[in-house]
Structure 1
Amino acid sequence: MDTTLTLLDLCGAVALLLWGIHMVQTGVQRALGPHLRRLLGVALGNRVKALAAGLGVTALLQSSTATGLMVASFAGAGLVAVVPALAVMLGANIGTTLIVQVLSFDVARVAPVLVLVGVILFRRGSEPRTRDLGRAAIGLGLMLMALSRLVEVITPYEDVPALRVLLGAVATDRLIALMLGAVLTWAAHSSVAIVLLVMSFTHAGVLPFEAGMALVLGANLGSALNPVLEGARDGEAAGRRVALGNLLTRAAGCAVALPCLGLIGPLAVTWQPDLSRAVADFHTAFNLVLALVFLPLLGPVSALLRRLVPERIDAHDPGRPIHLDEAALETPPVALGAAGREALRMADVLAEMTAGAGEALTGGDRSKVTEIRRMDDTLDRLNAAIKAYLVRLDPEALSEDDERRIATLIAFTTNLEHAGDILSRNVMTHAAKRLKRGLAFSAEGKAEVEALLARLSANLGAAGAAFLTEDPRAARRLADEKAVFRDLEARATEAHFRRLREASGSTGAGPAEASTLYPDLVRDLKRVNDHLVAGAAYPILESRGALRTSRLEAP
């Protein structure tokens, strides 16, 4: 019975440690996440700045995985090369060791103060950021309490035969210890938690120092496994290269360090007699040496990764750009033409979404809702690829007309993406609601919906033509459609209330309930049309001084 209670006590302390780490990570990420992401993006110019940025961001987030996800998203969108992305990960690996260094000191007495301050900030804070920082303070206090409790639970049981047998197997075989550390870290999704556990076991005398170092090597290896395994099937090749490169550098470091633990151990203990601190110092030193060794070698590592993880060419992937020629970047006019062709592909995708929306709204095919939401993802990917392509143009090689065309391209693609979001999230919500409840538009309402979608499709074609030709007459005709859709919205609201009055005396609620969808639908389709006008017509009219700054009359 005592053994069971002790085991539960131990598991509870480990769970509290994991939850404390989770609270610190989520609190800091919610409070400072956008700023940290911006800082990371700015610092990716060269590998030294990238390493420093990775270290600083991870020291705050206490999650190299979170930093890795940010960098992988940058790399996947083409905004950063693999070399600086790998430099960020080298810095991130060092950053995760800093909290371990802090907690290796006797700071358990600070835990109640941190929890108290965190609760005050969380309960009394008027700003979301203040409450999130309070959450992080509570998490740090819980981590300290958990570590203190772990030492109290472990110490009396260091001589238990079963525990000695298990730890003896770990202590006698470094490879087993490394693999155990990797598996535990992979399962816990936190190298910080595993290293802190190893420190507690070593401090209590339950685990030999050399075995503790092997477990720390495994923790470093295991923390690099999750991004590779989770991104094995999904994600862009550049993002997968970053994850694999981080794993390979750590695996190489473990392969060199593991046979040398017999030499490293006595030196580390001589330098730091406190075994708990010595584990933390070894953890930090391992990642520092990795950074110093591999930072100059990231070029060859990147070349190796390009061979190991080639670009995945899928001819049937509609979200993969087909016109963005890398060689054309040396000639801005050609590159802008390629980006324009890709933007027209976005218009074609939006046209398919509009046609599918008509089938989903007036027919009975539920699969159209899912298909349109999938096409919205295609729009997002094409928009991101076009912007990443334009960013890579040399600013010094751009003329004034090139700069204006870039602004027009960005306005067009951004508004097409927003229009797709409205169709996917709003219009398809109406369609799903109609299908779920078995509602049907009246014959008059169905005809109006079909006419409205037909007009929107025609405007989409006009938007593509205006964008391609930059003809002010086409732009003016498209801009006039805003007034048409405003009138349609007003008439739809009036017709909606008229139908409600007619249905108020009937027993069938279906037509009346279906008619309530119509005004919302018209309003959302009007917003789609507004984005078409803003993306295609307004840039042309504005460049020719034919656009008013306000619709208000002069006083």
Structure 2
Amino acid sequence: MEYSFYDFLKLLGSLALFLYGMKIMSEGLQKFAGDRLRKILTAMTTNRVTGVLTGVLITALIQSSSATTVMVVSFVNAGLLTLSQSIGVIMGANIGTTVTAWIISALGFKVDIAAMALPLLAVGVPLLFSGKSNRKSIGEFIFGFSFLFMGLSLLKTNAPDLSRNPEMLSFVQNYTDMGSGSVILFVVIGTVLTMIVQASAATMAITLIMCANGWISFELGAALVLGENIGTTITANLAALTANTQARRAALAHLVFNVFGVIWVLCLFKPVTMGVSWFVEDIMRTADPAVAVSFKLSAFHTTFNICNVLILIWFVKLIEKTVCKIIPQREQDEEYRLRFITGGMLSTAELSILQARKEINLFAERTHRMFGMVRDLLHTTNDNDFNKLFSRIEKYENISDNMEVEIANYLNQVSDGRLSSESKLQIRAMLREVTEIESIGDSCYNLARTINRKHRSIWILLRNSMIIFIRCSS
């Protein structure tokens, strides 16, 4: 076998460059359009159709369905989107992510975009070192775009040639000639691979290269694409593990939606793949089989997601009811738990400020509730009720101390990212707010302790008076 371990490492390095390019390209776009994305998400989700269009637009812009769905889950967690609205946006994100496959097919296989990568990097360098935040973000996007296609070009170059590796060819053929079994196997492989890589665009690029090099047929490539659509839902579900109930339901809705789509396509697998293949061949009429198969896979990916949305958009309420049954509402208690800050669920610092703002509002509400308890303590005469209320105030004081530390730590982490001057001012103001709210909580607790001492003194005085009265009476 001519393919050595060193060649395999070069292949992994090419994939790493592709993933890094995808990451910084997406982050650059998110930083450039952070506030705009927030406004689009909250303003354009009034009904299921506009929600789908919003998901398509945002995912096409930032080139990452995972980033969109994680963002949506975070917005549900922060109470800015309802579960029903989030399902529509997630449906749109599935369509928007297919744009990446078309870009890779059009530029990665028809045009030698890697040859333009170095000149693009030269353009991006001055922008990257610019003092203006927006220019830096554009520079990051250019660098990411260049690295992405350099990685894709290196992936194609370093992929093993099966014609020169008969052992590898024999190994692959063992798993490609099992009929329906092969299709199911490749769906599972696509799912697992995307779960590991955490980027459906990367596994899509790998699938395109495998088909273009003749490793696998178009049908098995389509099966990998189906698996990738399941695997990509894992990112949002992992992000939602520590979120509130509604956010976990939104992430689960994404999984339910994609799994249902894969099931019905598998039932009609032959007609769907034959229809897509015939359509692309009739339209494209290209002599290059690598280009033809890449466009077939892109068309299959788009057809699958559009058809799935057209079918399930009418069943949003049913999906909502299903996920609500699977994840029932948890009873709210007074245990210490941050509700909106969940370990930096949003992928950019600008958007993460929103989570901190919602958490500070919750902190203020808890402190206001604590003040109400102190007021009630003044008018409580029953000793048992008094002790319960005072214990509750003590518990709230501990919660207040913990919330101050956690929110301040989170804001400090956010401030480490690259922020606009307005966002930096916001963070400083928010840190002051947190300190002041915690100070109010301390004052409430000190008042409660004073009332408790007075209460104890009164009871001691009454008890002593009663003892003296009884003795005098006898």
- TM-score, with length taken from structure 2: 0.69
In structure 2, which of residues 330, 344, 363 is the aligned counterpart of residue 312 of structure 1? 330
**Counterpart of 2:150 in structure 1: which amino acid?**
M
- Pairwise mapping of residues 444-523 of structure 1 onto structure 2 (< 5 A)? 457=443
1:69–1:261 Cα change, 3 Å: same
Over residues 222-244 of structure 1, what are the superposed CA-to-partner deviations in whole Å (9 max), with x where a residue is unaligned? 00022224423x21111111110
Does structure 2 conserve the Cα–Cα contact (< 8 Å) formed by 1:122 and 1:132? yes
Change (3 A) 1:350 1:131: farther
The percentage of counterpart residues that share the same residue type is: 26
Please state how far the C-alpha of 1:169 moved relative to its aligned partner.
4.5
- Structure 2 Cα separation of the partners of residues 240 and 319 of structure 1: 16
Q: Aligned pair in 2 of structure 1 residues 342, 8: CA closer, same or farther (>3 Å)? A: closer
Cα distance in 2 for residues equivalent to 1:283 and 1:346:
54
Aligned-partner SS, 2:97: helix
SS of residue paired to 1:80: coil
**More moved, 108-117 vs 191-200:** 108-117
Aligned in 2, Cα 1:417/1:120: closer, same or farther, shift over 3 Å? closer
Distance 2:273 2:120 in 1: 34
Question: Contact conserved, 1:86 with 1:242, CA < 8 A, in 2?
Answer: yes
Q: Secondary structure at the match of 2:52?
A: helix
> Would the alpha carbon gap of residues 458 and 74 (structure 1) be closer, same or farther in structure 2, given more than 3 Å must change?
closer
Q: After the TM superposition, which residues 76-155 of structure 1 pair with which residues of structure 2 at under 5 Å, given as runs?
A: 76-105=77-106, 106-109=110-113, 110-123=116-129, 125-154=130-159
Residue deviations 1:347-401 (CA, integer Å, cap 9, x gap): 47999xxxxxxxxxxxxxxxxx997553338999xxxxxxxxxxxxxxxxxxxxx
1:376 aligns to what?
Answer: 404
Equivalence for 2:24: 23
Instruction: Indicate yes or no: 2:204 matched with 1:168.
Output: no
The equivalent of 2:34 in structure 1 is 33
User: Is the contact between residue 319 and residue 379 of structure 1 (CA under 8 Å) also seen in structure 2?
Assistant: no
- Look up the SS of the partner of 2:81 in the other structure: coil
Which residue, out of 364, 369, 387, partners 1:345? Answer: 369
Equivalence for 1:518? none
Aligned residue for 2:161, secondary structure, equals: helix
Structure-1 separation of matches of 2:441 and 2:51: 50
- Code of the residue aligned with 2:58 in structure 1: it is V
Alpha-carbon offset, residue 299 of structure 1: 1.1
What CA deviation, in whole Å up to 9, does each residue of 1:121-161 have, x standing for no partner? 213x3311111111111111111122122222226345523
C-alpha distance in 2 between matches for 1:246 and 1:294: 12
CA distance in 1, matches of 2:372, 2:41: 35
Classify the secondary structure of the residue corresponding to 2:331: coil
Q: Output the CA distance in 2 between the equivalents of 1:278 and 1:83.
A: 33
1:100/1:280 contact within 8 Å kept: yes
What letter is aligned with 2:369?
R
Report the alpha carbon displacement of residue 30 of structure 1 after superposing the two structures with TM: 1.7
Asked if 1 retains the 8 angstrom alpha-carbon contact of 2:32 and 2:138, the reply is yes
1:409-424 → structure 2 map (5 Å cutoff): 421-422=434-435
1:187 pairs with 2:200: no
User: Are residues 1:54 and 2:50 paired?
Assistant: no
2:263 is aligned with 1:249: no
Encode CA deviations 1:290-326: one digit per residue, 9 max, x unaligned. 11111111011111221111111143435699xxxxx
1:235 aligned residue: 243
Amino acid at match of 1:457: S
CA distance in 2, matches of 1:167, 1:122: 44
The answer to whether the 8 A contact 2:31-2:137 is kept is yes
Consecutive unaligned residues in structure 1, runs of 5 or more: 322-339, 352-368, 381-415, 428-452, 463-555
Query: Which residue of structure 1 aligns with residue 187 of structure 2?
Result: 178
- Unpaired segments ≥5 residues, structure 2: 282-291, 340-363, 376-396, 409-428, 449-474
Computed over aligned residues only, the root mean square deviation of the Cα atoms, in angstroms, reads: 3.5
Contact 1:107 1:144 in 2 (8 A): no
Counterparts of 1:454 and 1:90 in 2: how far apart (Å)? 44
Shift of 1:204: 1.2
- Say if 1:16 and 1:146, in contact at 8 Å, map to a contact too: yes
Tell me if structure 1 keeps the 8 A contact 2:230–2:255.
yes
Offset at 1:459?
A: 11
Match of 2:295 among 269, 277, 294: 277
1:202 corresponding residue in structure 2: 211
Name the amino acid aligned to 2:219: E
Cα–Cα, structure 1 residues 457 and 224, in superposed 2: closer, same or farther, change >3 Å?
A: same
Relative contact order higher in (CA < 8 Å, ≥ 6 apart): 2
Contact 1:379 1:417 in 2 (8 A): no
Give 1:198 shift.
0.4
- Going from structure 1 to structure 2, the CA distance change for 1:126 and 1:278 (only over 3 Å counts) comes to same
> Scaled by the length of structure 1, what TM-score is found?
0.59
